[in-house]
DNA sequence: CGCAGAATAGACCGGTCGGTCCATTCACAG
DNA sequence: CTGTGAATGGACCGACCGGTCTATTCTGCG
């Protein structure tokens, strides 16, 4: 069975992504995870803030895995982008359109903390770096690749927001036609 | 002097944009606005939710004004986009990089409410519509114009997020080179 | 002036927040 | 078995939350 610490971080992640850092109460996380309060403060001595950072880290890694899965078998860059967007749209639908960017809702809504901002910008850099790597692998120059990655990332972040506002994942699915 | 109702909505808007709906307490808004609680519930009988909707509406209108100011005197579409982004970057800097999209932080973080989502998607539609109008005015076909507007809006929404994570408005300033 | 409704002022409320603390149970080394 | 630290379980706390309610002050009309 899954680690208590991991289970807490994952359940907290889902909730944070839907309602933001301040919109989720500790007790709600505990109830969903089926874990008592004592355990939380054993695994996350700094409480809610630690929990949010761990949740964001897990979600960030999951997105990296989706990037890999999308580009590894793609014949070219545009193809990889399309697969990537479709996978994210599916993820969006699974959670009933209630979910935004898995990390920005968690960390941007949190306390005005340097640690939170650093974690967030680090995660974004990792995502863009990974996408740029694949773009280069498919023949783009480093400069081109970084620009492609940035363009994709920015639009994607916007698509997540718009999709949530509309309750419709099609914005995400139509993204490849817009940025490639 | 400014209307008490308006003052409340504006101050609430700044706070919501920084910390999200649940991150801001009523008392904090009242303190900043220098207004007692009774006045708030006189002007906004439904309390915090009404306040957030009014705040978003004001911010949305302000953005429309910035769009107009940017495109009205621009010689072409690309020029208007550049001015628009520079104005937004300046707005971002004025608020010390602590501010995101003026409406999504307020409304997406709020209660999982149909009224909130509708208001948000309506505001986004108005923004994109206005930008598309200018694009057509500068010679683009309707289809081209809508695509241009969507591309700009999505990247802009993403830029706001990234700028906030980095605490640096340059992402927004570099946007025209990326989407035009 | 007197009156009425709008607006302001703030005490007060029940509920929930994040967090602390300690008793208990578990897993495992000796 | 016993001992020990990790992990769990949950009662409890003060602070703050959004919201209600009543008293008072302002404002404009007759």
Count Cβ–Cβ pairs < 8 Å, chain A vs chain B: 113
Cβ B117–A157 below 8 Å, yes or no? no
Asked if residues B29 and B10 have their Cβ atoms less than 8 Å apart, the reply is no
pLDDT at B119: 98
CB nearest B158 (choices: A18, A98, A158): A158
How confident is the model over A53-80, as pLDDT tens digits?
999 999 999 999 999 999 999 999 999 9
With vertex at residue A106, the alpha carbon angle to CA B111 and CA A53, rounded to the nearest 5 degrees, is 150
How confident is the model over A78-126, as pLDDT tens digits?
999 999 999 999 999 999 888 889 999 999 999 989 999 999 999 999 9
**H/E/C letters for each residue in A110-122?**
CCCCHHHHHHHHH
| pLDDT at residue A1 tops 70 | no
Mutate to test the interface with A, among B98, B104, B106, B109 (most CBs of A within 10 A): B109
> How large is the average pLDDT for residues B56-60?
97
CATH of the domain spanning B4-179: 1.10.357.10
Rounded CA-CA distance B119/B107 in Å is 8
| Distance from the B175 Cα atom to the nearest Cα atom in chain A, whole angstroms | 9
pLDDT at A180: 87
Residue of A nearest to B179 (CA): A151
- Cite the DSSP H helix spans in chain B: 4-19, 26-33, 37-43, 48-72, 77-94, 104-108, 114-137, 142-166, 170-173, 175-179
How confident is the model over A117-171, as pLDDT tens digits?
999 999 999 999 999 999 999 999 999 999 999 999 999 999 999 999 999 999 9
Domain ranges (residues) in chain B: 4-179
Rounded CA-CA distance B34/B28 in Å is 10
| pLDDT at residue A179 tops 70 | yes
Taking the CA of residue B4 as centre, how many other CA atoms within 13 Å lie in the half-sphere pointing to its CB? 12
> How large is the average pLDDT for residues B95-121?
93
- State the residue for tokens 């898995």: A102
């Amino acid at each position: 069975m899954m680690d208590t610490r991991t289970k807490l971080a994952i359940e907290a992640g889902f909730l944070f992504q839907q309602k933001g850092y301040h919109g989720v109460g500790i007790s709600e996380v505990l109830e969903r995870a089926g874990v008592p309060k004592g355990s939380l403060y054993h695994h996350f001595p700094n409480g809610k803030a630690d929990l949010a950072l761990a949740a964001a880290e897990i979600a960030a890694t999951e997105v990296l895995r989706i990037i890999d899965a999308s580009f590894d078998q793609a014949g070219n860059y545009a193809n990889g982008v399309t697969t990537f967007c479709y996978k994210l749209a599916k993820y969006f639908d699974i959670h009933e359109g209630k979910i935004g960017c898995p990390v920005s809702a968690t960390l941007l809504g949190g306390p005005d903390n340097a640690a939170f901002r650093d974690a967030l910008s680090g995660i974004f850099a990792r995502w863009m770096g990974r996408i740029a790597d694949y773009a280069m692998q498919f023949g783009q120059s480093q400069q081109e690749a970084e620009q492609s990655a940035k363009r994709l990332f920015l639009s994607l972040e916007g698509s997540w927001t718009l999709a949530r506002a509309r309750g419709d994942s099609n914005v995400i699915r139509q993204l490849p036609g817009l940025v490639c």
